[in-house]
Amino acid sequence: MKTKPAKATFTLPFYIRASIQLLQKIHPLLATPLALKLFYTPLRFSTPPREKKIRSEANIHRLQTENKEFTVFEWAGTGPKVILMHGWCGRASQFYSLIKSLRESGFAVYAVEAPGHGENEMEKSNLYHFMGALRETKKHFGSFKLAVGHSLGAVAIVNIFASAGIPLVTYGSPASIRNMVTSFCNTIGASSDVQREIIRSIEKRYNVNIDEVAPKYLLKKYQPQGLLFHCKNDEEVPMAEAHEILQSWTMAEPHFCENHGHRRILRNPQFIEKVLALLKH
C-alpha cells in the first residue's frame, strides 16, 4: 500500500519572520540576539497517546549534564545495550516502534531525553546538551553495542560514538552544523550576516571549529559501520544532506523511503528490520 505524504508538524508564525526582517532593516545585525534565542529554544509538543504506554513501562533515571537535568528511559533486557537519541523538539518515546521491536528481541534499550525536551524543565537547549547527556549516560550505564540518532540526535551520536568502534544508525541527519544554521536562518528569514554571527557565537561559546563537529567530517575520519536512513521528500533535512554524508561515510549502508517526512520515518518497519539485522549480524 502506498504511503500517504507526511504532513508538516509545525508552521512558523508570521510574526517571527516579520520581527526578524524588521530588525534587519534597522541594522543588519540587530536581529542576531532574537535569532540566537530562537535557535537555542526548542518548541514543546505534548506526548501523543501512542507513545504513553512505552513511557509508562520504562525505568526512569534522572541525570544531569552541566547542572542541567535530562532523563534516561530504560527497558531492561538480557541482550546487548542499545542507546537512542531523539532530535530537536523531540522525545525519547518517538522511537516507540523501534523500542518495541528491540525489546521483543531481548535487547536492553536506553532512550535519552535531552535537557529542555520532553518532561525535562529548562527553556533552552543545544547540541552540546545532547552530547553531554550521551556522555553521562555512557558513564552511568557503561558501553553500548549500537547507537541510534534522529536529526540533531544523529549529530550528537556521531560526535560521541563515531570513534567508539560500534555501529551507528542515523535517521534524517544533517551533514553539518553549518548546514543546520543555514536552514534555520532561511526558515526565520534571517540574513547571511546573522547566519555568520550565529556560527561565530557557537564557536566562541563552545571553543570549537564547527566544521570539525560535523557528521560528514567525523564519519569520514572514523568510518564506523552503520545504516543511514533518509526520506526522499524530507522537508526539514533535505535529501541533499544524506548525499553529502554518503560522500564521506563510505562504510554506511544507505536506505531511502518516500512520504514518511522527517519524523514518521522512525516508524518505518523496513528500516526497523534493518536495525535488528545489524544488531544480530
CATH value at residue 76: 3.40.50.1820
Confidence tier at 280 by pLDDT (50, 70, 90): confident
Runs of H (alpha helix) within the chain = 14-26, 32-39, 49-56, 96-104, 127-141, 152-161, 177-188, 192-206, 215-222, 239-248, 269-280
User: Over 90: is that where the pLDDT of 78 sits?
Assistant: yes
In 3D space, the residue among 94, 93, 105 whose CA is nearest the CA of residue 56 turns out to be: 93
Q: What are phi and psi of 58, to 5 degrees?
A: -90, 155
In 3D space, the residue among 258, 233, 270 whose CA is nearest the CA of residue 98 turns out to be: 270
Q: Is residue 152 part of a domain?
A: yes
In 3D space, the residue among 7, 221, 135, 139 whose CA is nearest the CA of residue 211 turns out to be: 221
Mean pLDDT of 146-150: 98
Confidence tier at 1 by pLDDT (50, 70, 90): very low
Residue 114 CB contacts under 8 Å (≥ 6 apart), including other chains: 70, 85, 86, 120, 125, 129, 130, 133, 153
Q: Are 253 and 281 in contact (CB under 8 A)?
A: no
Q: Is residue 161 part of a domain?
A: yes
Greatest CA span in the chain, whole angstroms?
Answer: 61
Q: Is residue 247 part of a domain?
A: yes
Q: Is residue 191 part of a domain?
A: no
Mean pLDDT of 3-8: 59
Q: Is residue 71 part of a domain?
A: yes
User: Over 90: is that where the pLDDT of 8 sits?
Assistant: no
Q: Is residue 37 part of a domain?
A: no
Q: Which residues of 181-202 are buried (b: 16+ CB within 10 A; e: fewer)?
A: bbebbeebbbbeebbebbbebb
- pTM summary value: 0.94
For residue 135 the three cell numbers come to 556522555
User: Over 60: is that where the pLDDT of 172 sits?
Assistant: yes
Poorest-pLDDT segment among 23-32, 148-157, 160-169: 23-32
| Domains held by the chain: number | 1
Q: Which domain holds residue 114?
A: 52-176+214-280
Confidence tier at 66 by pLDDT (50, 70, 90): confident
For residue 256 the three cell numbers come to 531511502
Q: Is residue 140 part of a domain?
A: yes
Q: Is residue 165 part of a domain?
A: yes
Cα distances from 67 to residues 70, 123, 204, in angstroms, run 10, 14, 21
3-state helix, strand, coil in the chain (%, to 5): 45, 15, 35
Query: Beta-carbon neighbour count of residue 35 at 10 Å?
Result: 27
